[in-house]
Structure 1
Amino acid sequence: MKKLFTQPGILRPALIITLIFMTISLSNAQQGKPAQSGYAPVNGIKVYYEVYGEGKPVILLHGAFMSIEGNWAQVIPALSKTRKVIALEMQGHGHTPYSDRPLTHANMARDVEGVMDYLKIDSADVVGYSMGGSVAYQFAIQSPKRLKKLVIISSTYKSTGWNPEVNAAIKTFKPDFFNNTPMKTGYDAIAPDKTKWTKFIEQMIVFAARPFDFGDDNIAKITAPVLIIAGDNDGIDKLELAKTYKLLGGGVSADLAPMPKSQLAIVPAQGHVSLMMQTDVILGYLNAFLK
C-alpha cells in the first residue's frame, strides 16, 4: 500500500476510487440473504438483481466500480424492514457480466426499466449514489411514468456539476492504476468472468472521462419529488447544485410561498466517500422523504 502514495500527483485518482470501494465495503452491517435474486435479460445483457423485504418498491443504484454489497450493505437491512428493496448491479459491475455494448447512462437507465418489467413492477422510488445518481436522473427523464420519487446522493446530471479538480483527476485514470487493489480483489470474488477485468476497467475509464449533460430543460420537467443529498465537500459544485435545486422547484421563500415538493440536504463535514458511510443520516432522510 505504501507504494501507492509515492507519486500522489499521478496515482491519487485511482487511490480515491480504491478507497471508495474499500471504505464502503468495510462495513460491519450484513445485508443478509435476499428473498429473491437472479438475472434479468434486458437490452441484450443480463442484469443481476437482489430483492429484500416487502412493501412499496424502492430501487437502489450503486456507484461506479461498486456492487450491491459494496454500496448498500449498511442501508438494505433497515430500509427493507418497511420496503421492498430492489438492488441492481449495472453493466459489467458485480455479478452482472461484462458486455461490449456501449456503456452509457441511457443504456443503464433502460436496463433499470427492463428489470422493473421483468419483476412486474409498474413504478417505484429510485435511489442512486454517484454514478447511480446520474443513471437515476436519466431514468427520470426517459421513464417518468415509472418513477414515484427520486433520491440523488452525491451526484449530478452533467459532468460540469463536479468540481474542476474531480474532472481533471478522472482524465488521469489508467488501467494499471487499479491492479493489485481491493477493487480488483472484490471484482475477482464475484465477477462471472474474471478475465474481463482489464476490458471492464478500460470501458469504465472511457465512460467516466466522457462529458455528459442531460439538459437543464429536461431536469426542470421532472415532476416526481426529488431529494438531493450531498456532502458539503463531496466534490459536487455547490453553485451548480443550487441551480439544480431551483430547476426542481426549490430555493423559494417558504414563508411566502408553498413549500416545494423537492428537498435539498447538505450534510456538514462530509466528502464523497464519508457521506455514504453516514448510514443513520442517510436513512433518516430516506425514511422521511419516501414515506
Structure 2
Amino acid sequence: MSSILTVTMPKWGLSMQEGKVNLWLKEVGDTIAPGEEIVEVESEKISGAVEAAVTGVLRRQVAQPDEVLPVGALLGVIADADVADDLIDDLIARFQAEFVPPTDDEADAGPQTQTVQVNGRQLRYLKRGEGGTPLLLIHGFGGDLNNWLFNHEALAASRAVYAIDLPGHGASTKVTGAASLDDLADAVSGFMDAVGIASADVVGHSMGGGVCLALTRRAPQKVKSLTLIASAGLGSDINGAYIDGFVAGNTRNALKPLLAQLFSDAGLVTRQLIDDMLKYKRLEGVDEALATLAGGLFPGGRQSALLADVAAASGKPVLVIWGENDRIIPVAHASAIPSARVVVLPAQGHMVQMESASEVNKLIGEFTS
C-alpha cells in the first residue's frame, strides 16, 4: 500500500513553542531514506535538521524559508512516487484546516524536569520513556541536560532515559566544592540510588565521559556499558584557553566566540543560546563552582585525570564517538581504549551529539540494544 507522511515542526526541548524554517535540504522530487536530513529549522535555542522517518519522495515543501510556525505545524509531505497529486493536495488542505497550535497548557503537558536530594545537594533531572535497561545521559563542563535535546526523546522510544544536571550546573545546587571526576561520579551514583536505578547504560559527553569512567571505577556494578562522546579522561591534552575563557566569560562578546568553538558550524550558536548561557553564568555560586571544578580537573590547561585504563580493565562494552574536527579535546584521544569500538564522524565538532544527532542516536541505540 502506498503511504503518505507529513513532516511537521519538531519540539526540541521542553520550552520550544515555535521554530523558523531556515532552508530546505532536499528538493521536491528527491528520493529520501530514513535518517536523511530534510529541512533545517531554528528554535530559539539552536538550529537543527528535521530528519526523514521513512523512505519516499519529497512531494511538497509546504513551509517556506524564514516562515515561523508553531510546534506541530506542517512543513512538507513525503509520499511514494505513485501517490496521486490530488491525494496529497487533499491531505494538505485537511491538515491545514484541522491543525490547532498547542496551547501553553498542552505544550507543558509532556515530560517535566524533577529534582531529587543527594547528599544535601539538589539535582535536577528529566526522565523520558519507560521500561528496559535505564540509560543515563551525563553532560559536559558548563553544560546541562539540554545538551541532549536532540537525543533524549529518540533514545527513549523503548526505554527509560534520564538526563541530569551535574552539581554546579543547570538547575542543580551550585556551590558544592566538587573538584574532581570522583566527586561528580559520587553524585551520579547517589542519584541512581535515589531514583532506584541499580544499573544503567551510561552515556557521557566531554567531562561527562570522564564522570562515566570515574563511576565505573568507583561503582562498577552500576554500569552496564559506556558510551563516551568526545570524552575527557582519555589523555592529558585539552583546550585550556577555552576552559579559562569560559570560566571567566560573563559578557556576550566574551562567550560567543568561545561557544562557537564547540561546533563545526558556528551558525548553530544562536542569540538565545548565548543569552541562556549568560543567565546561567550570572547565577549566584556558578563562578565559584566552575572555577573550583576547572582548577581540579584542568590545572595548567591539562587534564589531571587519566582513566583509559579503567575502561580497559572493567570488561564493560565501550563505544567511543568523536567529531573529526573537535577543537576542545583532540580526536586522537579516541584511540585510547584498545578494546573500544571507535567511530569518528567526519567534519563534526565537539558537540557532535547535537550536530550529528541522528547518527549518534543510531550508534547508541544499536550499541545498547
Q: Which has a greater percent of strand?
A: 2
TM-score normalised by structure 1 residue count: 0.74
1:151 is paired with a residue of what secondary structure? strand
Alignment correspondent of 1:5 = none
Going from structure 1 to structure 2, the CA distance change for 1:178 and 1:122 (only over 3 Å counts) comes to same
Alignment correspondent of 1:118 = 194
Alignment correspondent of 1:160 = 236
Going from structure 1 to structure 2, the CA distance change for 1:24 and 1:271 (only over 3 Å counts) comes to farther
**Pairing 1:61-210 to 2, within 5 Å after superposition:** 61-69=138-146, 71-162=147-238, 166-167=239-240, 169-170=241-242, 172-173=244-245, 175-180=247-252, 181=255, 185-186=275-276, 194-210=283-299
Match of 2:137 among 60, 67, 81: 60
**CA shift digits 1:165-193 (9 cap, x unpaired):** x23x24643754233456773257679x9
Calculate the aligned-residue CA RMSD, in Å: 3.1
Tell me if 1:266 matches 2:266. Answer: no
Distance 1:98 1:124 in 2: 26
Alignment correspondent of 1:288 = 366
TM-score normalised by structure 2 residue count: 0.60
Tell me if 1:277 matches 2:355. Answer: yes
Alignment correspondent of 2:318 = 226
Going from structure 1 to structure 2, the CA distance change for 1:183 and 1:97 (only over 3 Å counts) comes to farther
Q: Comparing 51-60 with 194-203, which one deviates more in the overlay?
A: 194-203
Distance 2:351 2:44 in 1: 7
Going from structure 1 to structure 2, the CA distance change for 1:72 and 1:175 (only over 3 Å counts) comes to closer
Number of equivalenced pairs: 249
Alignment correspondent of 2:6 = none
1:160 is paired with a residue of what secondary structure? coil
Going from structure 1 to structure 2, the CA distance change for 1:128 and 1:25 (only over 3 Å counts) comes to farther
Q: Comparing 269-278 with 127-136, which one deviates more in the overlay?
A: 269-278
**CA shift digits 1:121-144 (9 cap, x unpaired):** 110100111111111111111111
| Letter in structure 2 aligned against 1:178 | N
| Maintained 8 Å contact 2:312/2:337 | no
**Once the two structures are aligned, what percentage of the paired residues are identical?**
25
Alignment correspondent of 2:334 = 241
| Letter in structure 2 aligned against 1:276 | M
**CA shift digits 1:143-162 (9 cap, x unpaired):** 11111111000113145154
Q: Report 1 or 2 for greater relative contact order, CA contacts < 8 Å, sequence distance ≥ 6.
A: 1
| Maintained 8 Å contact 2:177/2:292 | no
2:126 is paired with a residue of what secondary structure? strand
Distance 1:94 1:138 in 2: 21
Alignment correspondent of 1:256 = none
Q: Which has a greater percent of helix?
A: 1
Q: CA deviation at 1:102?
A: 2.8
Distance 1:44 1:228 in 2: 33
